[in-house]
Amino acid sequence: MSGTENFLDAQMWYLRYCGVFREQSTLAGIRQRVCLGVLVVFMVLQSIYIFQHVNHFAMICDAIPTLVVCMVTISKFYIFVFEPAAMVALIDSFKALQGGASAAELLLFRRSGHFHAKLTKLYMTSALVVGWFYILSAVAAGVSRSLAEERARFVAPMAFPHNYQHPVVFALTFLFNCDSIHIAIFISGSVDTCFSELATSVTIHFRLIQRRFQAVDFATETAGDELEAAVAYHKDVLRLCLAMTDLFRYTVLYLLLLDSLLLCVIGYQFVIFMNTPRVLMLASMAFVMVLQAVIYCYHGSMMYDESLKVADAIYQSNWYEARPAVQRRLRICMMRAQKPVVTKGGFIRATLPTLKKILNSTGSYITMLLSLETEQ
């Protein structure tokens, strides 16, 4: 178990900020609900701000990205608040399946674990830089306005519908805003890299299944037992795939559904504020959102392709030397293997062609918004 005991530990460590622990306690449960409440309240406040400024498109564009990020974060946090037992069971199932691997096979999972630990750290660092940039920019803007107007003026990192110029109100708003930013960062980064490591493990398992089917010598007497072992392994992996895709269905749906809208707004703002320091914030946020979409779409395509290759691996074996009963069993295996693993949320599939469509539609929407701006 030395290769599996640290499975997803890097991601779970960051989730402690939001009260997510393997062994739940009363305080952890309270913190989880506080975090969920912060996200819900933040989403409501952003919605109110949009309705207040419905006739000012530029002001709406300021609130839409944060609203979308908040909605996607809630869909990710849903897993740990409402289905924690399913998540823990999924992690334990992956550990158990990896525990049955040989030393050479276990090395593949260890490499994946080391890579994703570094990826998680890099992801969190990048996201925190973006979040702190928003916070420090607000502080700098507040100081600048105060000096220009010769009186205390407060600026929050995000847009809010209420007047927060009173020091106490601003302090509460600022702390609330900072907490919501860190909650969104730690949840998004942890869940995204968690999905990446789970999907990579699935991909490795499918490749090992392909090797095991190809390694069976159907001319021998032990071919039947080796085939049954490979089939059992394939069933276990498929069962884990079903549990994983079901658990992440809402995340995939809201992320890919809203990503096009978010990138469209950010791209529009990027063009409008091309020669201002705000471009850095917009570019960094766009990078993080595209990275999220890439993680789900890339791994969705990898699982899809590798699951289909199992049928090819069976065909490439010396199945023609097997007994008739074994050949019938192999046909059933091939029929099942020809049904790929599909990562989707609702009607949206997480694949690279889907990502291409999102990016293409984003470019079209940005062009349309710019043409409307020119006409006005």
Cβ atoms of 160 and 181 closer than 8 Å: no
Is residue 3 in some structural domain?
no
* pTM of the predicted model as reported, rounded to 2 decimal places: 0.89
Cα 272–Cα 278–Cα 280 angle in degrees, nearest 5: 110
**Domain extent for 218:** 9-375
Output the pLDDT for position 139: 94
Output the pLDDT for position 319: 85
Q: How far is CA 289 from CA 127, 258, 276, 346, in A?
A: 10, 10, 21, 20
> How many domains are there within the chain?
1
Cβ atoms of 189 and 124 closer than 8 Å: yes
- pLDDT tens digits, residue range 174-204? 999 999 999 999 999 999 999 999 999 999 9
CA distance 368 to 55: 18
Output the pLDDT for position 369: 63
Is residue 4 in some structural domain?
no
Is residue 1 in some structural domain?
no
Cβ atoms of 247 and 90 closer than 8 Å: yes
For the chain, which residues score pLDDT lower than 70? Answer: 1-5, 275-277, 365, 368-376
- pLDDT tens digits, residue range 151-175? 999 999 998 999 999 999 999 999 9
Output the pLDDT for position 124: 92
Q: Quickly tell me which residue has 């884990």 as its tokens.
A: 240
Output the pLDDT for position 288: 81
